[in-house]
A and B are shown apart, each in its own frame.
Chain A
Amino acid sequence: MNLETVELTKSFGGVTAVDHATVRFVDGKVNGLIGPNGSGKTTFFNCVTGMIKPDSGSVAYRGKDITKHASDRVARAGIGRSFQLCRVFPRMTVMENLLVAVRHPSVRTLLRSADDEHERERARHWLRRVGIDHLEHAEARNLSYGQQKLLELAGVLMGDPDTIMLDEPAGGVNPALIGRIATLVRELNEEGKTFIIVEHNMEMVMSLCDHVVVFDRGRPIAEGEPSMIQQDPRVLEAYLGV
């Protein structure tokens, strides 16, 4: 099991965003997390990655409890994530954006020159993979939204995560770019990375994911292969209100 939550709960005032959610994601697969707006997907993401503290319940990653870990520790445990509204470091160059990621901090890495050629070469590799290597010296704020999205993904990959959580990778990008991101996810998955993807674009989820979890009102209502999920009456009800 890759990531597992037990009875995870988070309320904001009177609103229970995540409600006793017990969810499992499969190692080595592309996992999808779908659900109507406001069903608690992003809050769930944030609880798992330590961005916000859950009220109760637990999170385990590959058998280790990470419930109380701050987000930087979660990242160093091997979980990289992107944000729903893509976040990059606007006033740093594309290259600098990639050099931020830290997987194994030590005094040596602390003092190591940011100009380290090995790191730069690694960064260029990921920039080539996402297709923005020609932008290496550009400031991130001068990139288009689509390019920033690719930059964010490259930045996450620089941290060498085993598991990558993407919050709406297709949100706000043009259809052509969606195809590109999908291809990349598939390739990386074949190279051994596990994915957990929150997405509204059903076409993408259905074509890309091996395992889908459906959220409604802060808890999972169904899970399984995409084709099964599509026919599940509970899912249809949650989405369409049928």
Chain B
Amino acid sequence: MRNDSERTASAGRTASADLGPALTETVVVAPDAPRRRRRWSRAVSLALLVVGAALVLSFPFIAPNPYILSAGVVILNYAVLSTGWNFMGGFTGYISLGHAAYFGLGAYGTGLIVKYLELPGFVAWVLAALVVVAISVPVGIAALRVRGASFVIVSIAFVLILLLVFQSWREFTGGSEGLIVPRPFPDLLRPEHHRAFFYLFAGLLAAALVAWWVIDRSKFGTALKSIREDEDKARSLGVPTTRYKLIAYVLSALVTGLGGGLYALWFGDLDPIFQFSILIGSYMVLMALLGGVRHLFGPLLGALIVGIALEYFKLEFGDTQFHLVAAGLLLGVVVLFMPDGVIPAVGQLIDRFRPQQTSIRDVSAAELLEQNRRSDASATGAADAREASGEASTRDASDVSDASDPKEVTR
């Protein structure tokens, strides 16, 4: 391409002539600090993880009575459901308020298979999970055609339809009378039953967390997160968004359905109004938002907080609806003051007490010149070196005013 470099250079010349050389400019630089900090935070997270796992595993022995133990099972169940929800909500930003649909399908699927096919409880549980996957594929294809508020409405519509079906189809599902699911361990006493299921839920939660973690670190996870940020832009970069969203949706349904199935085997009595309630779906969202949807342990932490709060309010205010008011207030507080959830809010609080990071600092004119000289040396050499350096030294002149990070340090 002949004299084109000349032309380009002339464009650069006229351009840089308009601006005097910038003396100093603020440039975001990434020194070694983040790496060191990351190593630190990794050690801290690992320690927390070990302590947390030890606490969970020893809980059945610490729990003073079966009631507390059963509350622990409930909270772990919520943690599974909310983590399941977060496969969709956290990665892609698609807020499903109707995820109770898969909780209910997993539970009823397990119960109905045990009842009609007379299979062992845990075989039924796995089969029900497959049924959930089979249902979530076409539902996902339909629901994911719309975004934002429309997706929320579609998800609610789905759970309401299922509620009606399971309520009215009396001969098959037992309708409002409910469905009794025989216990998988008939010989166990009540506390032992709770203990066994505590560990089953803990195992399921661990599996779900590992899966979420793997996706979070994968290229697939990066693509899902880009959908959350800007779906059309992600598509323009070649991300097959339709397929990826569907995979995330089905995974999310699967984990939620497995949580529902385990609930059926544990609780042993299913009622459509509870299984397919918007309330359960809202709790999943509330817990994930509370803890932080961008974090692996966000939903778990949220389940812990909301679960304990709900149990407490139920004890304190008995059969009133006050626990709902409290949950509503909690959601309001989260959205207003911690839009990213507890984990990032705490992280920011800790950051405030750290020594200031100079993640953004000034680059002196001399440093900049040196940078330019280096970049010129590596340039193809086609462009006139002096022109190019004049061009580059002013390249970020506009950035001085734009560096909006509060941690900015100016000299």
A residues at B contact (CB < 8 Å)? 49, 51, 70-72, 75-76, 80-81, 83, 87-92, 96, 99-103, 105, 109-116, 119, 128, 131, 134-138, 142-147, 155-156, 158-159, 173-180, 182-183, 185-187, 189-190, 203-204, 207-208, 210
CB-CB contacts of B202-239 with A at 8 A, as 1s and 0s?
Answer: 00000000000010011111110110011011111111
A-B pairs, 6 with minimum CB distance: A179-B12, A144-B402, A175-B15, A75-B238, A89-B229, A176-B394
CA of A146 to CA of B378, assembled, Å: 22
CA of A183 to CA of B390, assembled, Å: 13
With A51-B232, A102-B223, A146-B395 as known contacts, state yes or no: A182 contacts B239, CB within 8 Å.
Answer: no
Query: B12 contacts which chain A residues (CB < 8 A)?
Result: 176, 179-180, 182-183
With A109-B219, A178-B15 as known contacts, state yes or no: A183 contacts B8, CB within 8 Å.
Answer: yes
Question: In the assembled complex, how far is the CB of residue A175 from the closest CB belonging to chain B, in whole angstroms?
Answer: 4
- Among residues of A, the one whose C-beta sits closest to the C-beta of B12 is A179
Report which of A75, A116, A159, A207 forms a contact with B219, defined as CB distance below 8 A: A116
Question: In the assembled complex, how far is the CB of residue B379 from the closest CB belonging to chain A, in whole angstroms?
Answer: 8
- Among residues of B, the one whose C-beta sits closest to the C-beta of A191 is B380
Q: Establish whether residues A187 and B380, one from each chain, have CB atoms under 8 Å apart when the complex forms.
A: yes
Query: A90 contacts which chain B residues (CB < 8 A)?
Result: 229
Question: In the assembled complex, how far is the CB of residue A136 from the closest CB belonging to chain B, in whole angstroms?
Answer: 6
Report which of B30, B232, B392, B399 forms a contact with A180, defined as CB distance below 8 A: B392
- How extensive is the interface on chain B, given as a class? 35 or more
Question: In the assembled complex, how far is the CB of residue B410 from the closest CB belonging to chain A, in whole angstroms?
Answer: 15
Report which of B217, B395, B403 forms a contact with A177, defined as CB distance below 8 A: B395
Assess whether B10 is interfacial by the CB under 8 Å rule: yes
Assess whether B29 is interfacial by the CB under 8 Å rule: yes
CA of A212 to CA of B375, assembled, Å: 31
Q: Establish whether residues A100 and B223, one from each chain, have CB atoms under 8 Å apart when the complex forms.
A: yes
Query: B222 contacts which chain A residues (CB < 8 A)?
Result: 92, 96, 99-100, 114
Q: Establish whether residues A176 and B221, one from each chain, have CB atoms under 8 Å apart when the complex forms.
A: no
- Among residues of A, the one whose C-beta sits closest to the C-beta of B16 is A176
Query: B391 contacts which chain A residues (CB < 8 A)?
Result: 176, 179-180, 183
Q: Establish whether residues B4 and A89, one from each chain, have CB atoms under 8 Å apart when the complex forms.
A: no
With A70-B235, A182-B11, A186-B5 as known contacts, state yes or no: A110 contacts B220, CB within 8 Å.
Answer: yes
Q: Establish whether residues A208 and B11, one from each chain, have CB atoms under 8 Å apart when the complex forms.
A: yes
Assess whether B113 is interfacial by the CB under 8 Å rule: no
Assess whether B153 is interfacial by the CB under 8 Å rule: no
Query: A190 contacts which chain B residues (CB < 8 A)?
Result: 1, 380, 382
Question: In the assembled complex, how far is the CB of residue A89 from the closest CB belonging to chain B, in whole angstroms?
Answer: 4
User: Known pairs A109-B219, A138-B28, A204-B11. 20 more at Cβ < 8 A?
Assistant: A76-B240, A87-B232, A89-B230, A99-B219, A100-B223, A100-B239, A102-B223, A142-B405, A143-B28, A158-B237, A175-B15, A176-B19, A179-B16, A182-B8, A183-B383, A183-B388, A185-B8, A186-B1, A186-B382, A210-B4
- Among residues of A, the one whose C-beta sits closest to the C-beta of B391 is A179
CA of A146 to CA of B383, assembled, Å: 22
CA of A186 to CA of B4, assembled, Å: 7
Assess whether B150 is interfacial by the CB under 8 Å rule: no
Q: Establish whether residues B395 and A75, one from each chain, have CB atoms under 8 Å apart when the complex forms.
A: no
Assess whether B27 is interfacial by the CB under 8 Å rule: yes
**Residue of A92, A136, A174 contacting most chain B CB atoms (<10 Å):** A174
Q: Establish whether residues A135 and B399, one from each chain, have CB atoms under 8 Å apart when the complex forms.
A: no
Assess whether B321 is interfacial by the CB under 8 Å rule: no
CB-CB contacts of B341-384 with A at 8 A, as 1s and 0s?
Answer: 00000000000000000011000000000000001001010110
Q: Establish whether residues A175 and B19, one from each chain, have CB atoms under 8 Å apart when the complex forms.
A: yes
- Among residues of B, the one whose C-beta sits closest to the C-beta of A81 is B236
With A176-B394, A207-B7, A208-B11 as known contacts, state yes or no: A87 contacts B233, CB within 8 Å.
Answer: yes
Q: Establish whether residues A186 and B8, one from each chain, have CB atoms under 8 Å apart when the complex forms.
A: yes
With A175-B18, A183-B12 as known contacts, state yes or no: A115 contacts B398, CB within 8 Å.
Answer: no
Query: A110 contacts which chain B residues (CB < 8 A)?
Result: 218-220
Q: Establish whether residues B229 and A91, one from each chain, have CB atoms under 8 Å apart when the complex forms.
A: yes
Q: Establish whether residues A71 and B232, one from each chain, have CB atoms under 8 Å apart when the complex forms.
A: yes
Question: In the assembled complex, how far is the CB of residue B212 from the closest CB belonging to chain A, in whole angstroms?
Answer: 14
Question: In the assembled complex, how far is the CB of residue A61 from the closest CB belonging to chain B, in whole angstroms?
Answer: 14
Question: In the assembled complex, how far is the CB of residue A155 from the closest CB belonging to chain B, in whole angstroms?
Answer: 6
With A146-B396, A186-B5 as known contacts, state yes or no: A179 contacts B15, CB within 8 Å.
Answer: yes
With A87-B233, A96-B222 as known contacts, state yes or no: A113 contacts B217, CB within 8 Å.
Answer: yes
- Among residues of B, the one whose C-beta sits closest to the C-beta of A172 is B398
Query: B58 contacts which chain A residues (CB < 8 A)?
Result: none
Assess whether B130 is interfacial by the CB under 8 Å rule: no
With A99-B222, A187-B382, A208-B8 as known contacts, state yes or no: A114 contacts B217, CB within 8 Å.
Answer: yes
Q: Establish whether residues B30 and A137, one from each chain, have CB atoms under 8 Å apart when the complex forms.
A: yes
Assess whether B328 is interfacial by the CB under 8 Å rule: no
CA of A103 to CA of B239, assembled, Å: 8
Q: Establish whether residues A100 and B234, one from each chain, have CB atoms under 8 Å apart when the complex forms.
A: yes
CA of A110 to CA of B219, assembled, Å: 6
Q: Establish whether residues A137 and B34, one from each chain, have CB atoms under 8 Å apart when the complex forms.
A: yes
Q: Establish whether residues B28 and A100, one from each chain, have CB atoms under 8 Å apart when the complex forms.
A: no
